[in-house]
Structure 1
Amino acid sequence: MRLSRYFLPVLKETPAEAQIVSHRLMLRAGMIKQSSAGIYSWLPMGFKVLKKIERIVHEEQIRAGHVPMLMPTIQPADLWKESGRYDAYGAELLRIRDRQDRDMLYGPTNEEMITDIFRSHVASYKDLPLTLYHIQWKFRDEMRPRFGVMRGREFLMKDGYNFDLTKEDALHAYNRHLVSYLRTYERMGLQAIPMRADSGPIGGDDTHEFLVLAETGESEVFYDAEITDLSFGDREVDYDSVDECRAVLEEFTSRYARTDETHDADEFAKIPEARQRVARGIEVGQIFYFGTKYSDAMGASVQDADGNKVPVHMGSHGIGVSRLVGAIIEASHDENGIIWPEGVTPFHCGIVNLKQGDAEADAACENLYAALEAEGLEPLYDDRNERAGGKFATMDLIGLPWRITVGPRGLKNGVVELTSRRTGESEEMSPEAAVARVAEIYAAHKPVNPGV
């Protein structure tokens, strides 16, 4: 993409309403524009990042054997009345009445709807286990929407639902989701720590939140410092293996890590003092096992091997896709702007032409642009007739991981400059070598499932 033809409305000044880093930088980098309180338009660059995150979530869900679908944003209130949550959910539930005087709602989650779908089409244990998921916009009418996309009213969320014959099978689904989430977050350049949490209005006894450590986090968290040394890495896990999934869960949850809602001061005190940590965290996902809560209430049962009708065991599993955009920025920025991890960057590499209009510099930039595209990469070429300082400031603000700078002086020596946004380190090399280096870096971040 050529920046002269792109819609990137960057701001020099920080809007007064932005209270946290991610909100400030998303507004300044031209990623979002507020429509009304807690509701945003996603402008082109913000939308690109959102889709990169969504794709990673899809790929890891499908890798774990989960089946994608799509449910509507507007749901009939009758389903929620059947489960008992229509009145219990509270004022965050946006209730609507259509022109036929039917009670409807803008879905904040989909337990009732997915249970209705399941009970309409599945009657035998032979069709289990089954996990269905979708990525869809949700709405919760927050009393005080704030912090940009971190605490908005409208948000994009992946929510998945497992249906199993027994509690043991459902707990394997729980463990399988924990494994897939660890892999998902690491692909985005995040370390998300699973912490024992409170189930809230969804219900259930078993639940873990995934939190990214950040000073602006809404939750106070208590954890054993050893947990931050853990990494999922490139390991392969057989998602069908109960033992392998359980082993990963035990590895990542055996050390103390809890939100303030479930913190146990006595247990925390047993950790050696040098490893005790108290910090703030941003929730980016949560997994639940809630047994037969919804299947009992809504008659979602199957026939078992003995011909008996039994309620299915369920769980739900969410990832805040739009919230992750803010969380990544909170975890990865400096005083000059965003620093995107390679896995989610909107463009793979920036090209800065120091002397727009110079025939040799223009030709070199065009060749770099074509060569990067030929490698399957998306470059952002700053071809504006602007001063070099302004071009560098824009690149730092929008946070592309790599920048190639082209100028007449370097070209006389046959070199361009490749710069890392994260470290600030630069290296002179031939244009061909710069393209090869960038292509090599991104080889590890190619989509795992091109069909998604």
Structure 2
Amino acid sequence: MRWSQMFVPTLRQDPADADAVSHRLLLRAGFIRQLMAGHYSLLPLAIRVRAKIMTVIREEMDRIGAQEFLLPAMHPAEIWHKSGRWDVMGQEMFRLRDRRGADLALGMTHEEIFATVASELRSYRELPQAWYQFQTKFRDEPRPKSGLMRVREFTMKDSYTFDVDEAGLDTAFDRHYEAYRRIFERLGIPVVAVEASNGTMGGSDSREFMCPSGAGEDITIVCPGCGYAANVEAAQAALTAVEDVDLLDAPERFATPGVRTIEDLAVGHGFAGDRQIKTLVYVVDDQLTLVLLRGDHALVEQKLVDALGAIAIRPAQAEEIRSALGALPGSLGAVGVSELPIVADEALRGRRGMATGANVDDVHLRGVEVDRDIVVGRWADLREVVAGEPCVRCGTPLEATKTVEVGHIFKLGRKYSESMGVSVLMADGTRVAPIMGSYGIGVERAIAAIVETHHDDKGIVWPMAVAPFQVVIVQLGTDEATALAARELYERLGNNGIEVVWDDREERPGVKFSDAELVGIPLRVTVGARGLARGIVEVTRRSTGDTVEVPVEEAAVRLADQIRPA
């Protein structure tokens, strides 16, 4: 390909609204352009990278025996009603109606749709099955940001497995785990596999593959001692012992005028956060619910959802709280409450001498003993783990890292096969619903993650496996001899299967070098009259900046040798 014939609209300045490194560089290097918030046009260079990523994924999926499908992106509402997820997905699902008034959805995910295809499975002898596709997904993100990191329209590789029993699912899960490890290694994306929540997908045994990134919106908790790793939505930590003091035979009221926060009570009345009970009020599936945590701990809402198996939760409004408890936030508590469900974090179990709101404005209680004074209906791990807390396994202080999720695998169980009426005939004549697994990789997010990991102050530094081109020939000057030498090298490389672009533009050398570095092609060959007079060309490796002089007649072979081992 000649650069003069390509569409590569590079920019000299950073776009004003580009926050993440990958967003900025993919815009500047002419890979993407924004159509509207969360929707991007992929330009020719991005298409080449995307195709290579998909090839790597396809090869590894085929390697574990998966078969490729392509299912519709638009789904009838009936399918989602059948699984019970039409309402669960909420506003993130794009919904529309056709000319006949039928409700439709743009697919966020395809568990239900693959299950409808699986309804044609008849016998246990047809299992196991592993199916995958590359398909456009649509999610109405409330705050699309960071370029390709968080969008509303994207390509997902999603795969699904169907097995007779849990042992078969375990095998399928492990095969996907290893396939994902190989995929991310080949793509040059460093990942940490972490324990995670399944969210609205349901099921169990969830693993996210997280790439460290300053643009990441997820927090990954990692133990440098034993290797324990988890998304903050699932992370656990050991509790440091806290001494209970000021014990009383019964709770005692005390005035707290103007106290509205944990800090207010700590500063004004001497109750440190770890001696307070924080009372949050949530509406959980239309039921007002009290959620209790230690005052210095934060709630992870996903943990609450998972603990209660909830479909939808939201913080209660002030008027709902006042009507139920008689006070406003700042003076709330669970002592004496019996008509509302109470969920408490494990850090409160057995605590005594605690302070909490009295459900009277500007009044609190001290001497609260949780087991004695509060009717806890459900205990659960609800709190957010923070850096420095001891590892739940080995006690080493935990570390917290900003990350972006690039892959997710989880065991679905039989939720979708049962709701979709999928069953196979067993040898004994009984019918069994296959057990399913689900496994996803966001293709465009993988592009962004690669750039987040591989860049410098000059631009992108693509790994060879995914680079849009392997070699760029930079022709300096327009004289006939230089043009002929560049053309001959271009043809020899192309004939040897090397992906090469020839920068034949009538531009200044500085522009050509800057564009080559910005776009990030791994190897640059500089062909100019001065070097040709000495019988050499210069070969520069983008990742290191190292330049070597190579005889013209050896250039094609030497370049091929540098590319093929990669």
User: 2:162·2:435 contact (CA, 8 Å) conserved in 1?
Assistant: yes
- Bigger helix fraction: 1
- Residue of structure 1 equivalent to 2:97: 97
- Pick from 404, 407, 421 the counterpart of residue 285 of structure 1: 407
Are residue 344 (structure 1) and residue 477 (structure 2) matched?
no
- For 1:341-420, what aligned pairs fall within 5 Å after superposition? 341-355=463-477, 357-420=478-541
Q: CA deviation at 1:440?
A: 2.0
Residue 151 of structure 2: aligned partner = 152
Amino acid at match of 1:262: A
Please state how far the C-alpha of 1:320 moved relative to its aligned partner.
Answer: 0.5
Normalising by structure 2, what TM-score? Answer: 0.72
- Residue 243 of structure 1 is matched in structure 2 by none
The residue that corresponds to 1:231 in the other structure is none
**For the Cα contact (< 8 Å) 2:223–2:396, is it kept in 1?**
no
Residue of structure 2 in register with 1:298 after alignment? 420
The offset of 1:64, in angstroms, is 1.0
C-alpha displacement of 1:432: 3.7
Q: Distance in 1 between matches of 2:430 and 2:528?
A: 76
Name structure 1 gaps, 5 residues minimum.
Answer: 227-253, 446-452
Cα separation, 2, equivalents of 1:260 and 1:444: 39
Instruction: Give the secondary structure class of the aligned counterpart of 2:132.
Output: strand
Cα distance between partner residues in 2 of 1:349 and 1:277: 40
Q: Please, what is the CA RMSD of the aligned residues?
A: 1.5
Residue of structure 2 in register with 1:262 after alignment:
234
Q: 1:249-281 CA distances to partner (integer Å, 9 max, x unpaired)?
A: xxxxx831111111112262655759x542111
Task: Name the CA shift for 1:270/1:296 in 2 (closer, same or farther; >3 Å).
Answer: closer
Aligned to 1:115, what secondary structure does the other structure show? Answer: helix
Structure 2 residue corresponding to 1:435, chosen from 549, 556, 559: 556
Residue type matched to 1:57 in 2?
A: I
| C-alpha contact 2:146 2:215 (8 A) present in aligned 1 | no
What is the distance in 1 between the residues matched to 2:443 and 2:55?
Answer: 10
Per the alignment, do residues 108 and 432 of structure 1 end up closer, same or farther by CA in structure 2, a change over 3 Å counting? farther
1:307-318 alignment runs, 5 A limit: 307-318=429-440
Tell me the distance in 2 between the aligned counterparts of 1:324 and 1:433: 36
2:52 aligns with: 52
Q: Mean alpha-carbon deviation: is it higher for 55-64 or for 217-226? A: 217-226
Post-superposition CA distance 1:196-243 (Å, at most 9, x none): 1111111111110001111221111122448xxxxxxxxxxxxxxxxx
SS state of the match for residue 59, structure 2? helix
The separation in 1 between residues aligned to 2:496 and 2:135, in whole angstroms, is 32
Q: 1:162 to 1:270 in 2, by over 3 A?
A: closer
- The secondary structure found in structure 2 opposite 1:88 is coil
Relative to structure 1, the CA distance from residue 218 to residue 128 in structure 2 (aligned partners, 3 Å threshold; closer, same or farther) is same
Give the AA of the match of 1:109. Answer: T
Secondary structure of 1:317's match?
strand
Question: Does the CA contact (< 8 Å) of 2:224 and 2:396 recur in 1?
Answer: no
3-state secondary structure, aligned to 2:137: strand
SS of equivalent residue, structure 1 residue 329: helix
Deviations 1:283-331 (A, max 9, x none): 1010010211111212111111111001110011000111111110001
2:250 maps to none
The 10-residue stretch of structure 1 (422-431 or 214-223) with the greater mean CA deviation from structure 2: 214-223
Q: Sort the Cα spacing of 1:59 and 1:277 in 2 relative to 1 into closer, same or farther, 3 A.
A: same
DSSP 3-state at the match of 1:423:
coil
Match of 2:133 in 1: 134
**In structure 1, C-alpha distance between the alignment counterparts of 2:469 and 2:482, rounded to whole Å:** 21
Indicate the SS of the match to 1:290: strand
Distance 2:553 2:209 in 1: 42
Q: What is the Cα deviation at residue 181 of structure 1? A: 0.6
TM-fit CA distance, 1:354: 1.5
Instruction: Output the CA distance in 2 between the equivalents of 1:411 and 1:333.
Output: 31
SS at match of 1:41: strand
Paired position in structure 1 for 2:256: none
| Secondary structure in structure 1 of the residue aligned to 2:92 | coil
**How many angstroms apart in 2 are the aligned matches of 1:328 and 1:440?**
24
Distance, in Å, in 2 between the alignment partners of 1:288 and 1:300 is: 20
